[in-house]
Amino acid sequence: MMRRDLLNRVYEVIVENGAIDELELLSKLQKHYPEITANLLENVLLKLEIAGLVNVTWASKNSKRVEAKSNAEEQATR
């Protein structure tokens, strides 16, 4: 089971940065959670994306861009 504080912290970092590269996000999170891996981060991002809180898109061949959904986007999808 995933720790709720980890989910919340990932979301907070994304919101603080607006949009962030997945690798940059991983390095920022590892300062507070040294045990986090790329695989675990992908699972967290998937949960946040399913919940409708973030968008994850391919920025280039090897990197993903993560951005928080705005309230306007959330209401438009309802």
Q: What is the pLDDT of residue 1?
A: 42
Mean pLDDT of 24-53: 94
* Structural domain boundaries enclosing 11: 4-76
User: Which CATH number belongs to the domain containing residue 58 in this structure?
Assistant: 1.10.10.10
End-to-end CA distance of the chain: 29
CA–CA separation, 69 vs 53, rounded Å?
6
Q: How many domains does the chain have?
A: 1
- The model carries a pTM of 0.83
What is the average pLDDT score of the chain? 88
Q: Has residue 74 got a pLDDT over 60?
A: no
CA–CA separation, 16 vs 6, rounded Å?
15
Q: How confident is the model at residue 72 (pLDDT cuts 50, 70, 90)?
A: very low
Mean pLDDT of 18-27: 94
Tokens found for residue 33: 């959670």
Mean pLDDT of 33-58: 94
